[in-house]
Amino acid sequence: MVINMEQKKIDRINALARKSRESGLTDEEKLEQQALRAEYIESYTRSLRNTLDNSSILRPDGTKEKVRRKTDTKPVS
């Protein structure tokens, strides 16, 4: 899976996480971190959906079935 986010932004996310653990972040840095994380999650989700939309299941009888989105969100009992 390829995440379409600049490496520079991913490096910044990691730098902010490291700084947060070591010495804490300013309010401005916290806002930047939240925005970068939201962008990363959106990019990851988009990439995962694209991968699943182009995937298929190979059944034991040799037939292929495209992966469908789950519409029933009720927990299995």
Which residues of the chain fall below pLDDT 50?
Answer: none
Helix axes 27-53, 7-22, angle to 10 degrees: 130
pLDDT digits (tens, 9 = 90+) for 35-57: 999 999 999 999 998 998 899 99
| Residue 53 in domain | yes
- Closest C-alpha to 68, from 42, 77, 54, 44: 54
Residue range of the domain that includes 34: 7-66
Tally the domains of the chain.
1
**What is the pTM (predicted TM-score) of this model?**
0.72
| Residue 73 in domain | no
| Residue 71 in domain | no
| Residue 77 in domain | no
| Residue 62 in domain | yes
| Residue 61 in domain | yes
